[in-house]
Amino acid sequence: MKILFYDVKDFELNYLLERVSNKIEPTFLKTTLIEQTYIDEKHLDTEAISCFVNSQLNKKVLSKFKKLKYIFLRCVGYSNVDLEYCKENDIKIYNAANYGNSTVAEFTFALVLSISKKINQAQNSIKFGLIDANELMGIELCSKTIGVIGVGAIGRKVVNIAHGFNMNVLAYDIEQKGAYNFVSLDELLAKSDFISINCPLNSQTKGMINRNAFLKMKKDAILINVARGEIVDTMALYWALVNKKIYAAALDVVECEEILCQTYKKCANNDGLKLMCLKKFFFIQKLLHLPNVIITPHNAYNTKEAQIRILNTTLENIDSIFDNKYGTKNLVLI
């Protein structure tokens, strides 16, 4: 079986070369698979694709591969895949579930601590010799309320860490599984000092944190997003911050992340950029210049341990096609 591996980092390449099954014909590519990506004709008959969340597997991209049967995602989320096209063409999707539950939850609190203790500003004050204790006054976590939106595998870890800081926890999730303090979304927004977004991106959550949501928050609320950028309306967030509707924000994800790739890494040309993404990017740049905002480049997942788990799960998913050893363990149902 021919497999094209996209988004391959040097660490991944070395690890995969040592462990990949001799039952497949792998091709490893550092490029991200988007509409503008050049695809050599000899690769168009591939039966499988493996990629990271940066790749955008829409109908236009997937239809180029006429023999495609499998997609092996090296990530948990699959909002970057055209599920309808895959369903119509019987393309099975496998993800790397639960590889980074602790990793992402830990990063969530790295952002919580960085923004509440003003660590970035404190470091810069040393660098530039402009130390002002009044400007560097932080916020305690003890006895504060954190609202966790999405109490799945990662959200549960966030709750556990929050309890370690003696925080009060409110939870919002459609399924409401487990013994958590579940409340309505409106109540969570109104009562939380910190709001942590840990839910998947879907039709219900896209744009969920909009201007109306910000109006329901406390004026000293801090927003944390390590899930997907499209859950938060970027322009509404900028409006809320400059108009002091909330206190601060720390984001590991932003809307239209593909434009960040194209801008900072020059990984593709700009032909396919949507006008809306250009508008979003403009406001992302404005957010970067606010002192009460932290933005990191979708890096919450990025630890050595998590990367190894991703690769091991991907290899297991590929092997399961041949020996059915793992059945449908990581099969995405569509």
Q: Which residues are catalytic?
A: 228, 257, 298
Exposure class string for 217-244: b at 16+ Cβ within 10 A, else e:
bbeebbbbbbbbbbbbbbbbbbebbeee
Which amino acid type is present at position 171? A
Backbone angles phi, psi at 239, to 5 degrees: -60, -45
DSSP string, 158-185: HHHHHHHTT-EEEEE-SS--SS--B--H
| Residue position matching structure tokens 């993800």 | 95
DSSP code of 31? S
CA distances from 232 to 77, 100, 188, 209 (A): 17, 22, 16, 5
Tokens representing residue 221 in the block: 């609320």
